[in-house]
Structures are given as structure tokens and as C-alpha cells.
Amino acid sequence: MAGHSQFKNIMHRKGAQDAKRAKMFAKIAREIIVSAKSGLPDPNFNPRLRAAISAARAANMPRDNIERAMKKALGGDDTSNFEEIRYEGYGPGGTALIVEVLTDNRNRIGPEVRAAFAKYGGNLGETGSVAFMFDRVGIVRLPATVGSFDAIFEKAVEAGADNMEEVDDAFEVTTSMDDFAAVRDTFSNAYDDQVESKLIWRPTNTIDCNEEVAQKLFKLIDVLEDNDDVQNVYANFEVSDEIMERLG
């Protein structure tokens, strides 16, 4: 199991699943609000908002939640001034982490992220301290049921994508930042709300973690992801299937 956590959704107890889902919906709603405020309120003319709504649908977020977030943004009910911040640092075993935050209180989230790193054997660094170990790329995901691999691959190549592979019954198309918008729009126009797209930090190399390091790293990632202000966590780790089974 390798390194970024944006599609991670593994829980074992229903209560924990429900809490995790509610937190995920809250984070998606925050992204919808910020996206709607930052550009045109129509997703057809606001790529970031369209991507946020697609992510909501992919996560099976109820339509009422989506509409509530849109009304909150457009009706003036939300007076929060959210700020996008990227934190970088080293975790246990020398692993590198990038933490993307959407917060209305920089003075609160900074110490919370720093404390999480320190508690689990890491160190929060300056901006740019680990970003050079990652590539900023676009990911477009759509269910494998939309068509054959060859047909989707041909469409991806024509749109300017760099690569495509089948992962967990879905086609995952990778693009450069420059071509992300064109590739995303090609698939969004063809398959509408079946498409999930976003920019991610992909590690250029990974660090093989033993069980002790993996346990600490997963705890750190869980604590960070549990924070309401944290939107995404990326890390450059590699963990064997055997260790993953032991960790449950």
C-alpha cells in the first residue's frame, strides 16, 4: 500500500464509519462554500465548484447537504473567511508529509498541526521543505463501467493526459497541472457527475516503513485527517501487505 491518502476510507466499526462520513461531508461542504464564493456560482462556469460537487456525489453526499452548502455560500449566511494553507514536514521514519488546510483560524490550526507532528515522532518544517519530493499532478477518476479501457484511454490521450490505469474498478487518469483543466473538462462533459477530479501531491519516491514506523505514521495521518480544518494529507510511504494485515 503506497502513499497518498485522498481516497482512503477504511473503518471497521459502524459508529466510526458514521462519524468519519459526517466529517468528510463537512469538509466537502466547506470546499463547496469556498469554491462558490471564489468564482461564479454556476458549476458549469466554475471548474473548482464543479469538482467539489463531483467529489460530493462520488462520496454519496446527500443532495440536501450539497444544496445547503450552496445556499449558505450564495445567500450570505456564511461570513467565514477561509484561508488555504499548506503545511509540510517529516513524519516518523523520515517520511515526508504535505497537509492541505482550509481554515478560518490560522492561529488555531498551526499549533494543532505542529502538535500532531511532534506527538508521533515528526517535525513540522517550512513551506517547501518536502514539496520537492512530490509532483503536483491532476487525477481524474471515473467508474470502469463507463466504457472499455481502450476507448477511455484513447479519449484521455486525445485530451492531453499523461497516463491511465485501472484501479479498484475505476479508471484513473493522470495529467500535468497544465493539462488538468482540459482533461477534466473532456471527461466531465462526457460523463458528468460520474467523474471525480482533483489536484494531488504524488510522491516521486517512497520510503519503506517497518511495522513500528507504519503504526506511528498511520496514527499521525489519522489525527491530522480528523481535524476539521485539514482537507487532504499526502505522504511518501510504502508498507508491505503483510504489515498492513497485522495493523488491521
- CATH number of the domain encompassing residue 174: 3.30.70.980
Which three three-digit cell numbers place residue 176?
500535468
Q: Are residues 157 and 55 in the same domain?
A: no
One domain, residues 89 and 65:
no
Question: Does one domain contain both 176 and 191?
Answer: yes
Burial of 32 (0-12, 13-18, 19+ CB in 10 A): buried
Measured distance between the N- and C-terminal CA atoms of the chain, rounded to whole angstroms:
13
Do 142 and 194 touch, CB atoms closer than 8 A? yes
Task: Point out the residues of the chain with pLDDT beneath 50.
Answer: 1, 4-14
Look at the chain and report how many structural domains it folds into.
3
Element (H, E) at 10: none
Closest of 108, 105, 110, 103 to residue 30, by C-alpha = 103
Q: How far apart are CA 18 and CA 231, in angstroms?
A: 18
CA-CA distance, 219 to 8, in Å (whole number)? 14
Tell me whether residue 191 is in a domain. Answer: yes
Q: What pLDDT shows up at residue 9?
A: 40
Query: Among the three residues 187, 203, 219, which one is the final residue of a domain in this structure?
Result: 203
Q: What domain range includes position 118? A: 83-128+207-247
Record the cell numbers describing residue 138, joined without a space.
491532476
Same domain for 124 and 223: yes
At 124 the pLDDT is 95
144 and 55 share one domain: no
Residue 6 lies in a domain: no
Which pLDDT tens digit goes with each residue over 115-141?
999 999 999 999 999 999 999 999 999
Residue 230 forms part of a structural domain? yes
Residues 184, 148 within the same domain:
yes
Q: Do both 39 and 152 map to the same domain?
A: no
| Residue 17 belongs to some domain of the structure | yes
1 is a domain residue: no
With beta carbons less than 8 A apart as the criterion, state whether 22 and 61 touch: no
